[in-house]
Each structure stands twice: as structure tokens, then as C-alpha cells.
């Protein structure tokens, strides 16, 4: 029996409230027309006690403790997979939905992996509050752009190269890149405690562990999460994930192969009519998606839409996309999951 939280003010918890994604989630909550009756913020001991302006009031950040989720409707987790693994089940036991931005539960067959607008129906599996996983940022940015085309022509294979902002590695990584620009300008040596290599004026393979296959975890997520989100165990995905000296917003060059033909014109029309997408594709002005234009904004920017001339006509298409990976790639998708849950809770199950 699902609690009816659609008709009343919502009580929300944020775990990882002092992190880049947690702060963004809190900011988005303020913008969203959600009636909130309570917000509780959780972070590590380092941030505990800090007071944060929320709506009209002030909320003090606390540490997680047994029973801390009692009375909440929705708890958003963005404090790493270890915290999620331990505490998300606690939130569910306390009767709350746990929206988890970590990788802890994404591939758990019993946990829906959801991008609202892409696969909302995955929430059907939850008859009562449960854990819902937010996909990895690169997957979200890719699938918001590609799913409208997949629905028409079925994507059989994707080749993806990413241009990922440092913010994917957290707020401290953004500060590291900013500090490197300052040090460079003042003729000081660059310090790289987080990445272990200069990020300014450099790019490098994504800093996640590499498996037997030679693919790193970030690349493997693009395959496995896409298959789960599309409920399509056949789709093939190969990716190369690369960090670039960008503060915020990921770009991806995506080459699609289709099972049935789709013209660039039909693709453009489908994309223009899809939520969460803004087409930026002005060939004459050479104006296409850029991370600084995507940063701090909701839509995934999609451009460089062109038929793939290395495939039979209509059977392939290339795109270049940019999306703010803290926003649509994490916090906004988490908030949209919360909205979808609230919409659904209005309907008796």
C-alpha cells in the first residue's frame, strides 16, 4: 500500500547535502513548485552543524543516525555508493522513497534505473516506497538525446566518445582545475592532488578502474545502464570516456547505427518534439552544443545532427551533445524522479 504523498506537502531528506550534486538538488527543490513541509540535510561530520538557507528558513546539516529518516517521504542520496549501500535501505524501512544518485544499486535487478521522460514505466515495479537509482551522468546525457531516435528506428549500436567535465569528480575537482588556471597565470607550478596529472590544457582517460576487457567503469556503465534503461539486452555500446579541462557539463560525440532507416530530417523533428532537449545546430554560424552553454541549464543540447556517410543511407546518424552533468546528469534527474513518484502516488495503486 503506497502512502498518498501527492496531495500534501512533502518531507524531503538530502544525504550528501554539502556536495556538488546535493547542493544542486537543494537549489532545484527551491525552484520546483513542490510544496515542502520539511527538509532535512545530512552530510559527513566535516559539514555537520553548518546552517543552510532552505526556502524561508534555515536548516542545520546533521550526520546520519539510526532512525534519522523517520517521517520523511523522499530521501535523495548523493554521498557515494558506500553511504547509499548502508543507508538507502534504512530510508525505505522508514517508509520513504530512496532516490539514489550513486552506483550502489543501479545494476540491481530489483531496483528501477530511471530517466524520467525515457523510461518512467520502470517505476511500475515499485508498489510501495523503494530504492530508485539515478543513472550515471554520461548515460543520462546520452539517452535523453538518443531515446527519441531509438523509439523510431531502434538503435542497434552506439559509438560514444565523451568530453567530460571535471565536476563529475566532485566539487573539489572543479576547484583543482580553477586553482591550476590561477597557478598557471601566476607562473606557479600546477598542483594535482585529485587527478594526479595536470587538468589545465590537458585531457586524459577517465579516472575510473579498468576491467579485464580494457574498458573503464565509466565506459562499461554506458553499455550496461543503456541495456537496462531501454530493456534491450541486444543494443551494443562502445565508449571512450575522456576528461577535458571543462568545469561543468559533459559533451559526447555519438555515432548511432539503426535497425531501420531514419533520415536526419526525421531525426531532427523527433528531437525537436522531445522534452529535455534543445537543438543547437546552426551550420552557417558554426553554433553547436558547448559545455559552457549547457552549464547551469536544464536541457541537453543536441547538434551536429548528420547522416553517417560511413553507413548505408539512413542507417546511421551522428550527434554532438552537451548536458550539465550535475543538473540533468544527477540532481535534476533525481528531482524529476521525485516528481514522477509524486504524480504516481496520486493514482491509487
Binding stretches for its own copies (CB under 8 A): 157-159, 161, 163, 177, 181-182, 184-186, 197-198, 200-205, 207, 210, 213-215, 223, 236-238, 240, 242, 244-247, 251, 253, 255, 264, 283-284, 286, 288, 290-292, 303-311, 316, 318, 320
Which CB atom, from 85 or from 304, has the smaller least distance to its own copies? 304
For cell 607550478, name the residue.
Answer: 189
Distance between CA 328 and CA 218 in Å, rounded?
Answer: 17
Which CB atom, from 110 or from 286, has the smaller least distance to its own copies? 286
Among 289, 204, 179, 199, residue whose Cα is nearest residue 246: 199
Q: How far is the CB of 203 from its own copies (least distance, A)?
A: 5
For cell 523510431, name the residue.
Answer: 152
First to last CA, the chain: 7
23: which residues sit within 8 A by CB, 6+ positions away?
17, 171
- Among the listed residues 68, 126, 137, 199, the single catalytic one is 137
* Known catalytic residue at 206: no
How is 78-141 classified by DSSP, letter by letter? -S-HHHHHHHHHHHHHTT-EEEE-SSSSTT-TTS-B--TTT-GGGGGG-SSS-EEEPPPHHHHH
Which CB atom, from 65 or from 310, has the smaller least distance to its own copies? 310
Q: How far is the CB of 229 from its own copies (least distance, A)?
A: 17
Distance between CA 221 and CA 94 in Å, rounded?
Answer: 30
Exposed / middle / buried, residue 50 (Cβ in 10 Å: 0-12, 13-18, 19+): middle
Q: How far is the CB of 332 from its own copies (least distance, A)?
A: 21
Which CB atom, from 53 or from 292, has the smaller least distance to its own copies? 292
For cell 543516525, name the residue.
Answer: 65
Q: How far is the CB of 335 from its own copies (least distance, A)?
A: 26
Distance between CA 218 and CA 140 in Å, rounded?
Answer: 12
* Known catalytic residue at 241: no
Which CB atom, from 15 or from 237, has the smaller least distance to its own copies? 237
Q: How far is the CB of 294 from its own copies (least distance, A)?
A: 10
Catalytic residues: 137, 250
Amino acid at each position: 500500500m503506497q502512502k498518498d504523498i501527492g496531495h500534501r506537502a512533502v518531507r524531503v531528506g538530502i544525504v550528501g547535502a554539502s556536495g556538488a550534486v546535493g547542493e544542486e538538488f537543494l537549489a532545484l527543490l527551491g525552484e520546483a513548485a513542490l510544496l515542502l513541509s520539511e527538509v532535512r540535510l545530512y552530510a559527513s561530520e566535516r559539514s555537520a552543524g553548518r546552517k543552510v538557507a532552505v526556502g524561508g528558513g534555515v536548516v542545520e546539516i546533521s550526520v546520519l543516525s539510526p532512525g534519522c529518516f523517520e517521517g520523511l517521504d523522499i530521501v535523495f542520496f548523493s554521498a557515494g555508493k558506500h553511504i547509499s549501500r548502508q543507508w538507502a535501505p534504512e530510508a525505505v524501512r522508514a517508509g520513504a522513497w530512496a532516490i539514489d544518485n550513486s552506483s550502489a544499486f543501479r545494476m540491481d535487478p530489483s531496483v528501477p534505473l530511471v530517466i524520467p521522460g525515457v523510461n518512467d514505466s520502470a517505476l511500475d515495479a515499485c508498489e510501495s516506497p523503494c530504492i530508485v537509482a539515478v543513472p550515471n551522468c554520461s548515460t543520462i546525457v546520452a539517452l535523453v538525446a538518443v531515446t527519441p531516435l531509438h523509439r523510431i528506428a531502434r538503435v542497434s549500436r552506439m559509438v560514444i566518445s565523451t568530453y567530460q567535465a571535471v565536476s563529475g569528480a566532485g566539487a573539489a575537482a572543479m576547484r583543482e582545475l580553477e586553482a591550476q588556471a590561477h597557478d598557471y597565470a601566476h607562473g606557479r607550478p600546477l598542483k594535482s592532488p585529485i587527478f594526479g596529472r595536470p587538468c589545465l590544457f590537458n585531457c586524459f582517460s577517465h579516472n575510473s578502474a579498468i576491467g579485464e576487457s580494457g574498458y573503464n567503469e565509466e565506459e562499461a556503465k554506458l553499455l550496461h545502464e543503456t541495456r537496462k534503461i531501454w530493456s534491450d539486452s541486444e543494443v551494443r555500446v562502445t565508449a571512450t570516456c575522456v576528461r577535458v579541462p571543462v568545469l561543468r557539463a559533459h559533451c559526447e560525440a555519438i555515432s548511432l547505427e539503426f535497425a531501420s532507416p531514419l533520415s536526419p530530417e526525421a531525426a531532427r523533428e523527433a528531437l525537436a518534439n522531445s522534452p529535455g532537449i534543445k537543438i543547437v545546430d546552426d551550420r552557417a554560424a558554426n553554433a553547436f552544443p558547448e559545455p559552457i552553454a549547457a552549464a547551469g541549464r536544464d536541457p541537453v543540447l543536441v547538434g551536429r545532427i548528420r547522416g553517417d556517410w560511413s553507413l548505408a543511407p539512413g542507417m546511421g546518424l551522428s550527434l554532438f551533445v552537451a548536458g550539465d552533468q550535475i543538473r540533468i546528469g544527477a540532481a535534476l534527474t533525481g528531482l524529476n524522479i521525485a516528481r514522477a513518484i509524486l504524480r504516481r502516488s496520486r493514482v491509487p495503486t
